[in-house]
Amino acid sequence: MNDVIQAAVKRLEPKYKPRSDKEIITEIGLGDSSGDALFYLLFGRYAEMLEAIFRRQSSGRIEFDDFMLELDIRLFVNRCAAIISFDENKASFKTYLGTIAHNLLYDMSAKEMPTRDILEALRQTDCGFDEYGMSILVDAINSYPNKDSRYVLLKTIEGYKSKEIAAMLTRRRQEEGTLDKGKSLTPAYIDTVRSRTLKAIRRMMAGPCEQAESCGVSACQVSLGVTEPFALAKASTPTLLKPEAASFTDITNPFITNIYILYNQMKEDYDE
């Protein structure tokens, strides 16, 4: 796990390490800090077990961090319904979680990242974010045609720095045979890919609306498949929270935080 995730786990340990699984699951059921409690279970208490399952079952096409991101979001959707439905009379929570992990790895073998389930997680994050715009960004990443660009944005969401992403993408492309063994991608290249991809996604989001202005909002809605077009909603979009805002820093889950940062970067470029 990267430094961002390890730091998040360390911040949560004083609160959750002394508690039993049952106590933590009860807190999740109450809806109080459910994202933090779930995050600790996955990335703290059961991280080693989940990594062992991943190493045994993964086909090699999926990376461990991608699997953990998917697992965290999948368990978080529908207000952590999968966690709340756990029955201690049927199995231990460790066994229950292991079964979910096995099933998820099976499902992931047939698709590539990033996840669409993260949209549901965004809808459940009531912290003043521009939920609409962030959801559209995630959807645009899913449909972006260049897999290297998707990879860079996903790894950014997972909290990796450009230097780390460069090393991982270098290894990935060398294994695919699309990059010579003696060559390496640089952090500057990753920064360029990220910037260009965000600009392209921004155009994808704004373009159809600008072309359909004469047809009204409904034409944009049909084009984008959303309830409000990005370009036309720009004037009514609420002010984004700054990273130092209390309600922002209260969110421990780094995935949601990093999506916010990407979206903020893209929107600032759009506003210029």
* Domain limits, the chain: 3-108, 118-271
Q: Name which of 261, 264, 259 is nearest 114 in CA terms.
A: 259
**Stronger pLDDT, 230 or 19, i.e. the higher one:** 19
CB atoms within 10 A of CB 44: 19
**Stronger pLDDT, 175 or 180, i.e. the higher one:** 180
Place of tokens 């990594």: 51
Q: Name which of 118, 90, 57 is nearest 257 in CA terms.
A: 118
pLDDT, tens digit (0-9, with 9 covering 90-100), for 95-109: 999 989 988 887 776
E strands in the chain? none
Percent of the chain scoring above 70 in pLDDT: 70
Q: How far apart are CA 206 and CA 220, in angstroms?
A: 9
pLDDT band at 181 (very low <50, low <70, confident <90, very high): confident
CA 157 to chain centre: 5
- pTM of the complete model: 0.52
**Stronger pLDDT, 242 or 116, i.e. the higher one:** 116
Q: How far is CA 59 from CA 63, 105, 107, 259, in A?
A: 9, 9, 12, 28
| DSSP 8-state symbol, 117 | T
pLDDT, tens digit (0-9, with 9 covering 90-100), for 23-73: 999 999 888 778 899 999 999 999 999 999 998 887 677 889 888 988 988
Contact at 8 Å (CB) between 138 and 122? yes
DSSP codes joined into one string, 13-78: HHHHTTS-HHHHHHHHHHTSSHHHHHHHIIIIITHHHHHHHHHHH--SSS-HHHHHHHHHHHHHHH
- The predicted pLDDT at position 21 comes to 96
Cα Rg for the chain, rounded, in angstroms?
20
pLDDT, tens digit (0-9, with 9 covering 90-100), for 125-175: 555 556 666 767 777 887 788 889 988 988 888 788 999 999 989 988 887
- Does the pLDDT of residue 184 top 90, yes or no? yes
Q: How far apart are CA 52 and CA 272, in angstroms?
A: 47
